[in-house]
Amino acid sequence: MSGQFSNGCAAIVLAATMAVGCTRAQPSATGAADLNPTVASGVGTATGMGTGAEAEPVKPASPDQVSAGARALRIVDAPRACAGIDRDGRPADQVREMFIEPDGAMRVITTTTLPPDAFSAGVDPPSSGPRAEAPATRDDKIHPVLREWLRDRTGLSPTQVVTVVIAFTEDLQIPRFPQAPGDPAAQACADALVAEIERVRDSDYAALAGVLTAMGDVTMVDTDPSDDDVDFGFWLNRAVVVRVPLGLVGAIADRSNVVYVQPDNAHETPPRPLPAALPQTDLNLLPRAVELVGAHTYAGFRQPGTIAVFDTGVRFDHGSFDGTDMGIGYDCVAGSAKCTAIPGPGGFNPEDTCWDHGTGSAHILAGKDGLTDMRLNSMRIYSTAIDGNVCIDEAGLAGAEKAFQAAIQAQAHVILVEAQDSGSDVSLLSLAADSAFDAGRPVIAPVGNVDALFNLDTAAPANAHKVIGVGGFDVAAAAKSPIQEQRLGPAPDGRVKPDLLAPTNARVASIEAADATRLYEGTSGAAPFGAGAAALVWNRLGGTGTDPGLVYAHMILAGQVPRDVDVDGFRRDTGAGPLLLPQAGRLWDGKVALSQAKSVVDIPLAVVDTPATLDAAIWWDEVPRVPHVPVDLAVIAPDGKVLVESTAELSVFQRVGASIASGSAGTWTIRIRGSNVDANGQIVYWAVHAADAR
């Protein structure tokens, strides 16, 4: 994404060296000025983009590719390099039945299509209506740290030049990327997709640059100074980095199509809890933690696959990684746009030399006694600089965005983001995580720890709309109660957070020596167990081509909410409860496409041998600042009686469980009911597990 600009208009160099002009944006109907420029080339329509020989033009997305509320977005269709490459998820409205053997092995029994009479219009149940979305104010659009700068509580003057990231209203739907690292054809497809997205974004960024620089003393920052091109912004999200006088930030935030403004470096650190009085026990509780999440029976699903970890790097020579596949060490702070090494002095360093954080995450995920044998790609997003004995938090936000882009282009399967940014659910970290989901990747993040400023709200990106946010419980405690230092939900728009709890306080590898260990506390120590569980679920469900939303539904299914209790709300510190992956029994799963005419679906499940328990879960994705679609879940016995239901109003997941009386074999029904479904429809992912007594 390269170009040059001057005098408020932009000239963008595309493959065909096509010049693009711009005009000054006019105020929107609401009175707020808009940064959407008028682009003379017709960029953003089905014509005027691409050569036709290399790729198809931008076109509207298909229903299977876009979630509710996003149908106005355009999608960049696959270039020729993607011909024959599998990038699709599961078809909607199918039921897959599977059987899990006691040793964890799984086989698919049948895959059937739901009959037309499974759907009905239904009658909306009594409801408080959609989640209210108040118009965004200037404060809603500005990161808390930047707000403090604007309030002059830090001694900064309006003329002080600061580096900020501006996120704009998205106009592209990120397509599904392939999931076959090591396959040259799949990598060529991924590279071609990135190139095509960059080409579509280029003219937009050049025009935005013209409008921004016309506002005043604004300097566009090259997001990849490692090459000769000038990159105005990112391909994964519609966002740019600029240097701007502090006094202009408010005017930028007031623009109608500006979603969020935040410092490139808000001095955020890895999610480490405040010093606590935890006993420094010598017990190795990592195997116990693996057993507590039920991963010990997933031996057949420990590989293949790749997990990308966004953290402080890894001490690769630690003995806990002997014989494991540590993959590639990336540096997204000093590295290029792909987080790889650059020629000349640049300080490239993928090692965990300062914070002693990422080494523990890597140990839990892929080290000895860890959850998986998957390939682990470590992507450093924090500084390695030390001032005396103190790590310096000088890494910028652009490093995390680069990590998302590099992980997706390198075709990682699951992403763990060890971050607790104080931004909202539309901050760049959260928007990038949502886009990674759209690209086909499950994203897991800690909900964060209470810090010295006593921030209690769920951190970014765990507060995002398409991320599983993980809280923690003490691995050594008898009760699986949330740890005290954990931040609380809900998300800014009311969605339930955390989604799940996972064990923490296990002893893991440390950077102090090649055989050193330490206690890994807080939600940082819990999130790798969530990410490892997601990777095991991804493998069990078939790996490549598995929808991330389906992985999320199975993760919510693994939450241990009380059985035989109707759920009308989830606790703001536990969500769906402690994580325990389904063991032996039968599994059913799928995704259904709800519409206004088909807002209720009854999924029949033939239960031959009466199980002791039947658990069900649903999860659905939503788009920021789009009205909420409530979806309810119920379990109906063969005699037509509703045994239990989950109707949490503001959640994007539901979870129920029922104890089954003997002699109740027959056709059970899982009812999914959507309310306020709009014309765009709503995809809902679901999973059911029937098991003998545990």
Mean pLDDT of 208-215: 92
Q: DSSP assignment, residue 588?
A: E
pLDDT category at 391 given cuts 50, 70, 90 is: confident
Q: 449-478: per-residue pLDDT in tens?
A: 987 666 789 999 999 999 999 999 999 998
442 CB contacts (<8 Å, ≥6 apart)? 413, 414, 415, 468, 534, 538, 548, 551, 552
- CA 504/CA 446 separation, integer angstroms: 11
Question: What is the per-residue pLDDT for 271?
Answer: 86
Cα–Cα distance for residue pair 347/330, rounded to 1 Å: 12
Per-residue pLDDT tens over the stretch 246-292: 999 999 999 999 999 999 988 888 887 766 655 555 567 899 999 99
Contact 380, 328 (CB under 8 A): no
pLDDT at 434 over 90: yes
Distance CA 445, CA 414 (A): 11
The pLDDT confidence band at residue 552, using thresholds 50, 70 and 90, is very high
Please give the pLDDT value at position 656.
96
Do 617 and 654 touch, CB atoms closer than 8 A?
yes
Model confidence at 132: pLDDT above 80: no
Residue 191's pLDDT band, with cuts at 50, 70 and 90, is very high
Please tell me which residue, 608 or 592, carries the higher pLDDT value.
Answer: 592
At residue 5 the predicted structure's pLDDT band, cuts being 50, 70 and 90, is very low
pLDDT of residue 344: 58
- pLDDT, residue 598, reads 93
Sequence spans of domains, the chain: 3-87+144-263, 114-132+582-691, 286-557
Q: What is the pLDDT of residue 123?
A: 64
Instruction: Give pLDDT tens digits for 603-622.
Output: 999 887 777 889 999 999 99
Kindly list the distances between the CA atom of residue 531 and the CA atoms of 11, 27, 166, 605, 685, in Å, as whole numbers in the listed order. 43, 44, 29, 30, 19
Confidence of residue 65 (pLDDT cuts 50, 70, 90): very low
The pLDDT value recorded for residue 63 is: 33
List the beta bridge partners of residue 100: 106, 585
pLDDT of 35 higher than 50: yes
Q: How far apart are CA 499 and CA 533, in angstroms?
A: 14
**What average pLDDT does range 9-13 have in this prediction?**
28
Backbone Cα Rg of the chain: 25
pLDDT digits (tens, 9 = 90+) for 674-685: 998 888 899 999
Compute the distance between CA of residue 427 and CA of residue 63 in angstroms, rounded to an integer.
26
Task: Count how many Cα atoms sit within 13 Å of the Cα of residue 115 in the half-sphere of its side chain.
Answer: 4
619-641 pLDDT tens trace: 999 988 888 899 999 999 998 99
Which whole number is the average pLDDT over 38-42? 34
Contact 193, 79 (CB under 8 A): yes
Mean pLDDT over the full length of the chain: 84
Residue 12: predicted pLDDT:
25
Q: How far from the centroid of its chain's Cα atoms is residue 189's Cα? A: 22
Residue 439: DSSP 8-state = T
What would the mean pLDDT of 193-203 be, rounded to a whole number?
92
Is 397 or 440 the better-scoring residue by pLDDT? 440
Q: Which residues contact 3 (CB under 8 A, 6 or more apart)?
A: 10, 11, 12, 13, 202, 205, 206, 209, 230, 232
Contact predicate 288/475, CB 8 Å: yes
pLDDT grade for 421, boundaries at 50, 70 and 90: very high
Provide the pLDDT for residue 332.
Answer: 92
Query: For the segment 285-338, what is each residue's pLDDT rounded down to a tens digit?
Result: 899 999 999 998 888 889 899 999 999 999 999 999 998 888 889 999 888 888
69-106: pLDDT as tens digits = 444 678 787 899 999 898 888 899 999 999 998 888 88
Q: How far apart are CA 20 and CA 13, in angstroms?
A: 8
CATH of 114-132+582-691, one of 2.60.130.10, 2.60.120.380, 1.10.10.350, 3.30.930.10: 2.60.120.380
CATH class of 286-557: alpha beta
**Which comes out higher in pLDDT, residue 262 or 660?**
262
Three-class DSSP category at 309? strand
pLDDT band at 564 (very low <50, low <70, confident <90, very high): confident
- For residue 503, which phi and psi values (nearest 5 degrees)? -70, 150
Residue 472 structure tokens: 């923690």
pLDDT of residue 38: 40
Instruction: Identify the helix (H) or strand (E) that includes residue 366.
Output: helix 358-366
% helix, strand, coil for the chain, step of 5: 20, 25, 55
pLDDT recorded at residue 662: 63
Between CA 615 and CA 618, with CA 616 as vertex, the angle to 5 degrees is: 155
> Across residues 229-240, what is the average pLDDT?
88
Q: Give the tens place of pLDDT for each residue, 354-368.
A: 899 999 999 999 999
Q: Which of 22-26, 77-81, 129-133 has the highest mean pLDDT?
A: 77-81
